[in-house]
Structure 1
Amino acid sequence: MGLLGALAAAQAVLKISFSHLPHALRRRFNRTCPLIEQLPRVKSPLRMSRDPRLGSTQAWWTNELAFTFLFFLNLLNYIDRGIIPGAAEEFSDFVAHSLGTSSPDLFVGLLQSAFIVGFSLAAIVFGHVIHYVAPFKMVGVGLVIWIIATALSGLAHHVASYYLLCIARMLSGVGEAGFQCVAPPFILDLGGDSGGRWVAVFYTAIPLGTAIGYPWGALFAGSPWTWAGGFWVASFLMLPFAVTCFLLPFTWRPERAPIEGDDVRTDGDLKIAAKKASRDKNGTDSAELHSVTRHDALLRHEQEVSVADAEAQFEARHMSLLREACVVLRRPVFLLNAFGYAANTGMMIGASTFSSKIMLDFGFFSSESSASSVFGIALSLAGLLGTPLGGVLVDRRHFHSEEAKLVFLLRQSTIFATLGCICSSLSCWIYQREVFLVFFVAGALLLFVCTASINMVTMLSVPPANRSFAIGLCTLIMHALGDVPSPIVVGAILDTLAPDCAADMKKDGKVSPECTAQVSQVRLTLFITCMWLLVAILCWGVGYVVARREYHRHHAAHRYLYLDCGSVEGEKMSRSGDRSSEVPDERNQPLLRKI
């Protein structure tokens, strides 16, 4: 029954799709590919909504409440991520005692990297199987894994096992990956016309949750509960979210993704213009008979594109994970954007992991708790302002094609990443605390502006049928080249350039004279970390050039499209016996549209 239902749904959608094609194109398309009606729909990207069969007892679960639920769930995830950076000194002491090493910063960075390894590997798997598994059941299972892993993270403190803590952090990443693959497309559907703004607000949980996680970890580390209590409380708070995911009154409804090559601009704008021009005095809409006149070469091109894209959708439905990865990796703009995303994230994570310790070494604060709190508040403000600002800058522009939008997004990322690199680099050599925070936070704000552009480029640079998988693959690349190595590299550089500052902090928060003598090396470490942004600027700049070249090449053959507003009248006159206007003269075309 399930198979018959799927086939019936596929046939209905294909019939609806065919009803919107011009008559001549449908006739040629059917002769070329007579079995096209047997092709099933592709389930990517997912669009999910509330089950219409639900009763009124669940009417209280509104879209706004669902969004609030997912936002706070995401917020709690990032609070958990900020516990280790917020209590870096206590974790350094824990590593030094449990492993007996004199270079604990390297292993503290490895804890963050272990989390990202689990998250990125699970994300690419979830991004492929999400089409076949009920999304919120998958989220619920992931949260159960997350709760157990977070509890084990707290247990590692009492058994003094660094390896248990490392494994637990990796499992936490696995549990979070299921949620991160489902929430963005679901929120985009909930938001409707405001979906972009909803997604932007959803991603503000990244800086806000991390900023809360910093003082969260520092406060628990300084309490009798130690940092283990921070993990246990977070695990307890996640329990109602996990239970709710199994009871959510939502189901998933896959919609037909726009076929790659569909010219929404042409079929939308031109049909509207033709309908307006072809309405007769009685209001009869005769544009359905013959709305647009085009050259035969353009018609043949559309036919070939439609057939090829239908075949591509059929192949995507049965595509293996490896083959789908090859399809996405063949897109140069996708790769350049992913590499730039990795460099951008590597700089931010590498600097934030040791931010509290670095500011203590600078002598800006007298305790780790105050350093974590101030830095967390500043980072929260930067994220709360920068992330929505990036979405507003994109939404206020109207683009005639996705290619033009892609070019704008890459240019925006390049400009703001350059400005952020300048501000962050200057802050490394500032000796006054307030001025340092102003420049560093300004650089972080400019980098947060790029968040919306990065995610949109990831989706727009690949075929629509592969966009869900592209998000997971971009996450893997970003973490493999950004989050995973950056804390390890920054920790190793800090241990090498300033070895006396590695684990020399006193319990009262004062810096030893030996560490004070190496403050310039600490500043150099932060500067090297900021220079990581040069890779992001280079990748996005080259991506902008490539996308712009592809945009001009794509539209070179279709520079002008002619709207034959007189063709409808010609057909009407031909039916009445006057065939002199049946074939209009191209020299007298009333409208000329430039793309």
Structure 2
Amino acid sequence: MDRFTVAGVLPEVEDYFGIGDSSSGLLQTVFISSYLVLAPLFGFLGDRHSRKRLLALGLALWSGVTLATSFVPPQHFGALLAGRALVGVGEAAYSTLAPTLVADLFRGPARSRALGGFYLAVPLGSGLGYIAGSKVKDLAADWRWALRVTPVLGLVALVLLLAVVSDPPRGGLEGPPATAPPLPRSWGHDLRALGRNRTLLLSTLGFTAVAFVTGALALWAPAFLFRVRLARGEGAPCRGGRRCQGDESLLFGALTCGSGVLGVGLGAELSRRLRPRHPRADPLLCAGGLLGGAPFLLLALLCARPCPPAAYVFIFVGETLLSLNWAIVADILLYVVPPPRRSTAEALQIVASHLLGDAGSPYLVGLLSDALGGGAAAVSFQRGAGALLRALLLLPFAAALGGAAFLAAGNALPRDRRRARREARGLPPDGDSDDDDDAAATAGPPAATGRTRHGLA
């Protein structure tokens, strides 16, 4: 919710600070940039120190900074950018460490359900961020109050984290090792081992496409739908301090909640049912979600002006298909990477997917929109909506490329899964696999499943 509340009041933010589309895109870019820069640090610390304490530190930081940024005066847009960057520090801790902690609390199908439920919070929180931003703004007649609600929820979460959540041993549920545990290895050794994991690399590339699409869509979809309504002559702009009238953020938030819950749940259930019969089912499901979602995103953009209700339907279907990936990508990482390297792998996947994905896509879309005559420079509402539409056409193309990466990951999956299982048992990763390993590889990982990304949301 903290991440997307600003997107729910973006027209008011632009008017309050007097900024254009490219500067608006920076709000998301600086958040993601600090997030991805610090994720490796938290991954390193999370493999060696108390994950619970690190999570508490991150949660306290981002909730406090979110509250502080609501008091930034209009002449200090840079302070708002700095605050959004600090919010990314907190999310770097949480997104990197929380999945590995949950994975060590459950095993087998219970882990799938636990991580699937945990990652439902990504689309659900994203959608609630839009809704909270839109409705709190309407009730308080001031968009800044939208940033003063979620820190209260953050405080409650912090108390529960400290009082209820335990910090279990890493890999404690994976079963006893076949040999004595190896001596601790250097971080450089971990990085080299992860660099040879083709499934991890290709699934990260595919998830980069998911991050690219969802990051740009999250920031710009409500603003685009608002501009389309202005171009149709059905509303007035929010200028000179006048409050924007419209339900675009509310509707998009509701669609994000619904499509996210449906997509994450459907993806986790399909994975659970198909993986025992088809060992490569997970990356193929991810590929299907991206390749299937691309045409629906394109239809949503093209139908927005002539038929807005159809655009909302296509957005819902496209987001549902994209959401299939969240829990499955988490599963893939957990069963192709042995427990001692999972926090590092999480961190590197976060860095790569956000660096090439949603760190730049909101700013890139805003920059293209400005270059095409949109934003503050638009000479008409029609021109502004058309410029943003053409800039958003990047998204279906990126989704198709991500689907191709997941198809390639399916070829490398059996080998990398077998290597991770052998390493978890203390065996050489490239040794001859015994019958138990082969049977387990066909049936799917006994203790690894589901997780989503953030951000994402």
Q: TM-score, normalised by structure 1?
A: 0.64
1:81 matches 2:12: no
CA offsets, 1:319-354, max 9 Å, x none?
Answer: 23x442232122122111111111111111102211
| Alignment correspondent of 2:202 | 336
- Relative distance call for 1:471 and 1:108 in structure 2 (3 A) is same
CA offsets, 1:484-512, max 9 Å, x none?
Answer: 01111011111112x2x4137xxxxxxx8
Given that 1:137 and 1:245 are in contact with CA atoms closer than 8 Å, whether structure 2 keeps it comes out as no
Residue type at the aligned position of 2:30? A
Aligned-pair CA distance for 1:211: 1.0
| Alignment correspondent of 2:448 | none
1:444 matches 2:311: no
Matches within 5 A, 1:10-409: 79-96=1-18, 104-156=20-72, 158=73, 160-192=75-107, 193-222=109-138, 224=140, 226-248=142-164, 250-256=166-172, 314-315=182-183, 317-320=184-187, 322-363=188-229, 366=235, 369-397=246-274, 399=276, 405=279, 407-409=280-282
Q: CA RMSD in A?
A: 3.4
Residue type at the aligned position of 1:416? G
| Distance across 2 between alignment mates of 1:438 and 1:376 | 13
| Distance across 1 between alignment mates of 2:209 and 2:330 | 15
| Distance across 1 between alignment mates of 2:267 and 2:205 | 20
Q: Which runs of 5+ in 1 are unaligned?
A: 1-78, 263-305, 505-511, 563-593
CA offsets, 1:68-106, max 9 Å, x none?
Answer: xxxxxxxxxxx111111111111222342xxxx6xx211
Counterpart of 1:80 in 2: which secondary structure? coil
Of 284, 289, 300, 1:411 maps to 284
| Distance across 2 between alignment mates of 1:84 and 1:198 | 29
Residue type at the aligned position of 1:243? V
Residue type at the aligned position of 2:292? L
- Relative distance call for 1:255 and 1:463 in structure 2 (3 A) is closer
Aligned-pair CA distance for 1:513: 7.3
| Distance across 1 between alignment mates of 2:68 and 2:155 | 15
| Distance across 2 between alignment mates of 1:550 and 1:254 | 20
Counterpart of 1:196 in 2: which secondary structure? helix
- Relative distance call for 1:108 and 1:522 in structure 2 (3 A) is closer
- Relative distance call for 1:464 and 1:226 in structure 2 (3 A) is same
Aligned-pair CA distance for 1:256: 4.5
1:530 matches 2:446: no
Given that 2:131 and 2:254 are in contact with CA atoms closer than 8 Å, whether structure 1 keeps it comes out as no
Of 539, 544, 549, 2:405 maps to 539
| Distance across 2 between alignment mates of 1:258 and 1:475 | 24
Q: Which runs of 5+ in 2 are unaligned?
A: 236-243, 423-430, 443-457
| Distance across 1 between alignment mates of 2:418 and 2:185 | 33
Aligned-pair CA distance for 1:561: 5.8
Counterpart of 1:250 in 2: which secondary structure? coil
Residue type at the aligned position of 1:362? V
| Alignment correspondent of 1:515 | 381
Q: Which moved more, 1:376-385 or 1:180-189?
A: 180-189
| Alignment correspondent of 1:44 | none
Residue type at the aligned position of 2:258? L
| Distance across 2 between alignment mates of 1:518 and 1:227 | 23
**Higher Rg:** 1
Given that 1:135 and 1:252 are in contact with CA atoms closer than 8 Å, whether structure 2 keeps it comes out as no
| Distance across 2 between alignment mates of 1:186 and 1:519 | 44
Counterpart of 1:532 in 2: which secondary structure? helix
Counterpart of 2:274 in 1: which secondary structure? coil
| Distance across 1 between alignment mates of 2:40 and 2:120 | 23
| Distance across 1 between alignment mates of 2:254 and 2:10 | 17
Given that 1:360 and 1:368 are in contact with CA atoms closer than 8 Å, whether structure 2 keeps it comes out as no
- Relative distance call for 1:126 and 1:549 in structure 2 (3 A) is closer
Residue type at the aligned position of 1:111? L
Aligned-pair CA distance for 1:540: 1.2
Given that 2:135 and 2:250 are in contact with CA atoms closer than 8 Å, whether structure 1 keeps it comes out as no
Given that 1:111 and 1:169 are in contact with CA atoms closer than 8 Å, whether structure 2 keeps it comes out as yes
1:453 matches 2:328: yes
Aligned-pair CA distance for 1:241: 2.6
Residue type at the aligned position of 1:208? L
1:428 matches 2:301: yes
Counterpart of 1:314 in 2: which secondary structure? coil
Aligned-pair CA distance for 1:453: 1.7
Aligned-pair CA distance for 1:249: 6.5
- Relative distance call for 1:118 and 1:205 in structure 2 (3 A) is same
| Alignment correspondent of 1:468 | 343
Residue type at the aligned position of 1:92? E
Structure possessing the higher relative contact order (Cα contacts under 8 Å, 6 or more residues apart): 2
